Structures are given as structure tokens and as C-alpha cells.
Structure 1
């Protein structure tokens, strides 16, 4: 048997694991994009619920996701990627069923929180599978494919969500997760059993994790409810002051804790810190952009959920294609070019939208080209920041680094949705409100472009070439001579 034949099963196994991990990434992101399409239907089903309250169907998922991603990454390092992956998929699948059966908004929000917990475990564990079970020479391409799965979810999500909501109602958006979740649980049997990858098997700090989630939640609550409560009201001030204070307390505790909720030590790496900052601001722009687009075409242009989903799909397809291409760029300049360039494209598109939104449908001449441009920017930024974060740390810290980078984006996303809920009026028909959201997203994208300029991956130094000792009675051989022999 040749060496090529012997390596074939190993390649097939690596391909199966990549498909499984990418599927988990797809499923977690799908539940962000499809739920955006449910907003109009939720307003009709839960009559009496204000839009600011309904927006928490997205926000609560992002908050729990954000609070638990970093510790889940550390948990994957400590307990093993297979264990954490199975737990995450199981929780996500069970919570999806609970979401579909929710009798009121309170139960739906609770179920979405549990979904966020499951997704938080799935994401870092799935990327750990990609990185630790892919051959080194395929690692960069594997990251690109894993990131592209998330972009593909964004591409499929709007059209799929539009069809499901239009034909079956919003509950079908969660029922569709169940067969996928069961399939992933079955496929997880191929994941190699492994002990923790880190130097210790401590569980992440529970108090720090709770503090982080409470801080992000209070901050988002204060932002989203500030207009309703009054910006000078005691409840608003408590939220917007206590929220950042709790986040700061979590970071201070993490800096001294032996098993921190947030691995702040990773921020000593300049590239990783910049990738986290870029991911945070990108999350603000991304989450608000995806939701405001759906609200604009349904409430101003009068599109049905199905038509709105189809209108959002071309941009998401462009994001998928770009994410796949960007993953193949050399690490020396790829993350920098993708993040900075993509952010400039996204920001420029946002400025154009902010000053030119029409009050009537203009799909082919206006929405389609601008949507494709925005998708190109999103696909480039998503892969650029993920690649920079993953490749700037040692392989032993892949899962923790991925969790922390995704945490930054989810926290930004939760804040972005909270800002949108504050800026957009309850009637959801004032074009000026939508223009302000695009303007905010455009300005934030320019910050991402500046941060992206600093994303550089230094290749590991080449191992020194040992010089053999001089032979008795002869000349010292050169490395070239040794290679020739």
C-alpha cells in the first residue's frame, strides 16, 4: 500500500470533522439571520408587546452567547472538544423545541437564552475541532471554510426564513433546527476523544461569567429602554452605569483568577487584541444592519416576509463567496487586507444608504447592488477577524481565543440591537430612523477599518539548521552536501 493510499482514510476523517464543525457554525448563525425575518410576524402574534421588548428575542440570544463564549472556549480546552460540542448541540436542539412551543414572549425569551448557551458551547468547540483535527497545511483553508459556513447561513437564512414565516409562521424557524441538531449529535461520534488541551483542567470562573452576562445585559437594557424610561431616570442610569462596572469587575477578576471567565492574558498579543476590538465594533454594525434591512423593506416598501428574505439573499450570497476566497489569502497580509478593505466597503455602502434611502421600492437599481457591496464587506471582515484571532495564538489556546473573539462580536451585536431599538420609533415607518441606523453602522465600520490595518500575522521562525560536527580526518560537511547525500 502506498503512503497516498494510507493517508486517504485520514483525509476523509478530517473532511468529515470539518463538515460537522462547519454545520454547527452554520446552525448557530442561522438562528440570528432567520429570527430577523420573524419580527413582523411576532408583532402580530404577541399583540401588545412593544418593538423594544420584541427586539430582546435577538438581544437575549446575543447576551448569553457573549457571556458564555469565552468560558465555553476555555471549557473546550479543559474538558475536550467532543464533550463540549455534544453538550452545546443537545442544549441548542432542546431549546429550539421550547422556542417553537412558547405560549408567550416571556417563555420565548427564556428559551432563546438557553439557545444562546448551547450556541456558545458549539462555536468554540467546533473551531477547535477544525483546527486540531485538520492537517497543518490545510489549517488556514479550514478556517476559511468554517467561517464561510457562517456566511452561508446568512445567505440561506433570509430566503429560508422568509419562506418558513410566510407559509408556516415564526414557530417553524425553530422547528427547522431540530433535525439538524439530531444529525449533528449522531455525527459527533466521529470526533476523537481527547483530554483537555490546556495545562490545567480547572472549570472557568462561574462568578466572573455571571458578572459578565449581567453587565452586558444591564447595559443593553439601559440603552434599549432609555428612550421609554427617560435618559435621566434612575432605572436608566443604574443600567448604563452598573453594566459597564460589572464588565470591568469581571475583567479585573479574570486578570487574577487561575481559571478566568475571560482570558485577558491573550490581549497581550497585539494582533489578537486588535482582532477583538475590530470584532466588537463589527458586531455593532453587523447586527443592526441585518435587522434594519428587514424592517425597512417590510415596513416602508411593504414587502412580505418572503419577499424581504429574497431581497436580503444576494448580499448574503456575496458574503459567502468572499469569505471562501479570503480564507485562502496568505496570513502575512490576508487578515489585514480583508478586515480593513471589507470595512471600507461596508462603511462606504452605509454612508450611501444613510443619505439616499428611497420611500418606494427600488430593488434592481438600488437595493441589489448596494446589498451585494455590503455582503462583500461582511464576508471579508468576518473571515479576516476570525483568521487573525485564531492564528495569532498558539494551537493550545485555539478554542479559548476563538471564544473570546466571538464574545467581542456578540457583545457588540447586543449593543447594536439595543441602539437600533432606541433609535427606531415604535411605528417603524419613519425613513429618517432607518437612515440614522445606517449612518451609525457606517461610522462604526470606519473604526473597524482603522483597527484592521494593525492585523499582522508573524510566521513562526524557521527552525535552525544544525551544523554536523567535523569528521575526523575530513572536512566539515555543509547542510547542502548533507541534503544531496
Structure 2
């Protein structure tokens, strides 16, 4: 986290295309093109981030629909999306540069619609999990291609406003996600949260088909696909070791073998990324101490945030016996609090950002610690328990995510902004996959004791949030400014 603007030391890796953060040649109707790109890219960001929150609301219903599948296995419905998203985000942006951002963006929209339909029609849990992996992969192409379209079509004086609008679309999705997901599940069943993506994607394709017209490809070469596969498999096998550890045994050969294979694959991906001209992991950005620290905080906080967001609907369903709509209304407390604090944090002076990040992590720690106490028992305590915890937790998320995004942008020169945002999202998604695995491991370790499992999980989330606060408070080395 930074108190002042820091820039990385000179980077020897190949430069990003000028369109990633600067304005390229503008056509005569550049104003209309910029508005169209912003509209369609923001719609895609809204859809992809909405899918994260609505699936959390639908998760209790999904577990009831597949009673013969272990709950730990079903958590891959959430973590599978995160793993694929994290593994492919950087290569997806590079591929969009090579093949054309508009083409890749529209193809990814079609892919997201098709994979959403596959999830909706899944005849079994295995099909649903596979569909979620594929859906996360297509979402990974949507985000960098859409962001690059916005940045490349916006005039320099409007880049900040365009980025604010694009970011707000994702934040708005998180805010309305519980309400939208609750209504869909209650009225039409959990499969509707995937079906709804199909008409939205079709409308975005119809509106944005002009984005690929007359687009010129840029000869940058293909990204490191082997490195991307190694990254995805590495994260996935580590998550599998944490998820299945309680069933297999922590010293079982399968658990240890999965963890070891995952670490080796991630080491391979990092090794290739140091040498490949188009790496799967943008480790060249880590030369900035400020940026590396931001990503470390994002990774750690992603673990506790994802676990908390999935545990909330499960608690309301299993312990307090809330209906889907009641759960959605309760989850909206934290979502609204997050939106409010995000706006406040976004307007805060730069020198305050570091300590605002610490405050956000501590607010989240207070919320999860409160939820691990006897106040949260089998007797519903909406106003004395859930609402205060939701305000603290959601408020902490809004502050920290906003501060981290701002710090990631400030830590890099403008031409690296798109890659920097993508890498920061990758760090958070990777941590989130491990957080969901932690949830599965805790519940598997306490079979038949849901209350104990929830309290243990919330205590773990509080401890991780405290670690996040410590990392956020670390000072940053002063670095030379580069153009």
C-alpha cells in the first residue's frame, strides 16, 4: 500500500501495446465508438461479476439438488470459476492484443453465453462444475479485452471517467447480486441464474458487433499457453489438496502429492514467466515493490472475503432456516455497505489510502470475529447480529477493494495499467479459490456440527483479515519514477 505515487524500476520485458493505456489512432466517429465500447464493456463486466454473487445465493439450492454429491466437492462450483479466471486472465489480455480486442471480446461474450447455458442444463454435479470452469475461462477473456477497448477508444482527458464507469459496473453487480439472485432462485430455480446470462450476452453482442469491424491485428505473438495451463493446474491441485485434506487425511499420499504437484506446477509457471516474451504471469510488474505488496494484500484478503461471501448464504439457510428471498435481503446489507464505503474511499486523499486499507481489513476482522461468537447461534439475530456484522464486513470490503485497486494503478506507469489491473484481479481470485477450499476443509473437519464449523470458519476469516491489516500497514520502499 502506498502513501505517495511510486513507479517501478525500468522494466526489461516487452512493452504493452500503446492502446493499453494510451489513445491510438482515432476514427472520425471516435466519440460514438468510445461510448459504445464503454457501454458494452461495462455490461460485460456487470454480467461477469454478477455471476459471482448470484451463484453464492444459489449455492444452498444447488447442494439440495445434488444430495449425493459431497458439499466439499460442490464448492468447486465457486472455486472452479475462480481458478480458471485467475489462470487465464493475463494470457487472455495478451491474446486479445494479438488477435484483435473486439474479436476476442465478442467471441468471449458468445462463449460466456454458451457456457452459462451448459451450467443451466447440467444433468449432474460434474457437468455443472465443468461448466463453471469453462465459464470462468470465458470470463477471463471478457475483462481484459473489454478494459482494453475502453482505454484505447477513450480520449486521454476522459480515461479516468471511463475507468470509473467501468469499475462502477462491477461494484453495482456486487450490490444488486443478492437481490437479483434471490429473486431468480425463488421464482425460477437456481438454473435461472445461468440462463439469464444468455439474453444479456446476446444483447451485448448485438450492440457491440461494430467493435471488431476494421480492427487491425497487432503482431505480438501468442502468449505462453503452457504457462497458463501450468498456472491453472497448479492453483487447482493446491485447492484440491486443501479441499480434500480432511477426507483423505492431511498426511495421506493423495493430499501431500496434490499439494506438491501444485507447488511444482506453479514454480514451473513462474520459471517460464521469467523467460517467455509473453508470460502467463506478469511477474515483470512485481519489480515495483509497491505493486508486489498490493498483490500480496489482494491475495490474502481474497481468501477471507470469498470464504465469508459463500458462508453467509449457507449460514442463513442451514442455521437460521431463512428462505431464499430472506437470505438475499440479509446479504444485501453488506452489499450496500460495500458500495457506500467504496465511494467514500475512492474520494479520499492519496496520503490516507494506506491507513484506510488497514481500517478496511480491521473492520472485516471485527465482523468475522463477531460472527464467531455466541451472538450467532441457532436463534436468528438479524438486528443484533447480522446487520452490524454485515455493515462492518461489507464496509471493510468496499474500502479495501477500492484502496487496493487505486494503489495498483498508482504503482505502475500508465502504459502498464491494463496489465496491472488484470494481475491484481488474478491475485484476488487465486486467494479466493483457496478461501473456498478452506471453507470446505473446515466443514469436512466438523461433520454433523454445523454451528461449530461456522464459528471455526469465521474465526479463521478474522485471523486472515488481521494478517491482511498487517500487510497493508507495511511501508513501501521509495522507487524511481519512470515514464
The two structures share one fold, judged by TM-score above 0.5: yes
Equivalent pair of 2:60/2:313 in contact (CA under 8 Å)? no
- 1:109 corresponds, among 89, 106, 129, to 129
Q: Which of these residues, 96, 106, 110, is aligned with residue 90 of structure 1?
A: 110
1:455 deviates by 8.2
- Corresponding position of 1:24: 44
Who is 2:401 aligned against?
382
What displacement does 1:152 show?
Answer: 1.7
Out of 38, 51, 55, which is 2:58 matched to?
A: 38
Residue 293 of structure 1: CA displacement?
0.8
User: 1:188: how far off?
Assistant: 2.2
Task: Say yes or no: does 1:444 pair with 2:464.
Answer: yes
Partner of residue 141, structure 2:
121
Where 1:375 maps in the other structure, the secondary structure is helix
CA contact (8 A) 1:140 1:328 kept: no
Deviation of the 1:174 alpha carbon: 0.4
Report the Cα distance in structure 2 between the residues aligned to 1:313 and 1:454, rounded to whole angstroms. Answer: 32
Instruction: From the superposition, tell whether residues 342 and 226 of structure 1 become closer, same or farther in structure 2 (CA, over 3 Å).
Output: same
Q: Say if 1:12 and 1:455 are closer, same or farther in 2 by CA, change over 3 A.
A: farther
1:343 matched to 2:356: no
C-alpha distance in 1 between matches for 2:101 and 2:354: 29
Q: Is 1:151 the counterpart of 2:151 in the alignment?
A: no
Asked if 1:209 is matched to 2:228, the reply is yes
Shift of 1:341: 2.5
What's the counterpart of residue 434 of structure 1? 454
CA positional deviation for 1:307: 1.0
Match of 1:161 among 170, 181, 185: 181
Distance 2:174 2:39 in 1: 17
Bigger Cα displacement from structure 2, 395-404 vs 268-277: 395-404
Where do 1:391-470 residues align within 5 Å? 391-425=410-444, 430-453=450-473
**Partner Cα separation in structure 2 for residue 298 and residue 99 of structure 1:** 23
Deviation at 1:195, TM superposition (A): 4.8
Task: Write the distance in 2 (CA, Å) between the matches of 1:171 and 1:365.
Answer: 34
Q: Is the Cα–Cα contact under 8 Å of residues 45 and 170 in structure 2 kept in the other structure?
A: yes
Query: Structure 1 regions of 5+ residues with no counterpart?
Result: 1-8, 464-485
2:266 is the counterpart of 1:232: no
The whole-number CA distance in structure 1 between the counterparts of 2:161 and 2:405 is 12
Q: CA–CA distance in 1 between the matches of 2:365 and 2:160?
A: 27
Shift of 1:24: 1.6
1:358 equivalenced with 2:405 (yes/no)? no
Q: Distance in 2 between matches of 1:462 and 1:418?
A: 40
- Structure 1 position 310 matched with structure 2 position 326: no
Report the TM-score when normalising by structure 1.
Answer: 0.86
Q: Does 1:282 align with 2:301?
A: yes
In 2 relative to 1, CA 143–115 (structure 1 residues): closer, same or farther, beyond 3 Å? same
Helix, strand or coil for the counterpart of 2:372? helix
Please give the secondary structure, in 1, of the residue aligned with 2:311. helix
- CA deviations on 1:367-424 (whole Å, 9 max, x unpaired) are 1122022111111222222222233223333332222111111110100000100101
Whether 1:254 aligns to 2:273 is: yes
Deviation at 1:427, TM superposition (A): 5.8
Q: 1:230 to 1:24 in 2, by over 3 A?
A: same
Q: How many pairs are equivalent?
A: 453
| Superposition CA RMSD, Å | 2.7
**1:171–1:365 CA distance, 2 compared to 1 (3 A):** same
| Shift in Å, 1:173 | 0.8
The 1-side partners of 2:203 and 2:478 are apart by: 39
CA drift at 1:145: 3.4
Structure 1 SS opposite 2:231:
helix
Distance in 2 of aligned mates of 1:285 and 1:384: 17
Whether the aligned pair in 2 keeps the contact of 1:93 and 1:177 (CA below 8 Å) is yes
Unaligned 5+ runs, structure 2 = 1-28
Q: Which deviates the most, 369-378 or 441-450?
A: 441-450
Cα distance in 2 for partners of 1:59, 1:247 equals 17
SS of aligned partner of 1:348: helix
8 Å contact from structure 2 (residues 376, 385) kept in 1: no
Distance (whole Å) between structure 2 residues aligned to residue 429 and residue 183 of structure 1: 46
Q: Find the aligned partners of 1:351 and 1:320 in 2 and give their Cα distance.
A: 22
Q: 1:60 aligns with which of 67, 80, 83?
A: 80
Question: Aligned to 1:30, what secondary structure does the other structure show?
Answer: helix
Q: Distance in 1 between matches of 2:478 and 2:97?
A: 24
Does the 8 Å contact 1:141/1:328 carry over to 2?
A: no
8 Å Cα contact 1:335-1:455 kept in structure 2: no
Q: CA deviation at 1:190?
A: 5.4
Give the structure with higher Rg (CA).
1
Contact 2:357 2:472 in 1 (8 A): yes
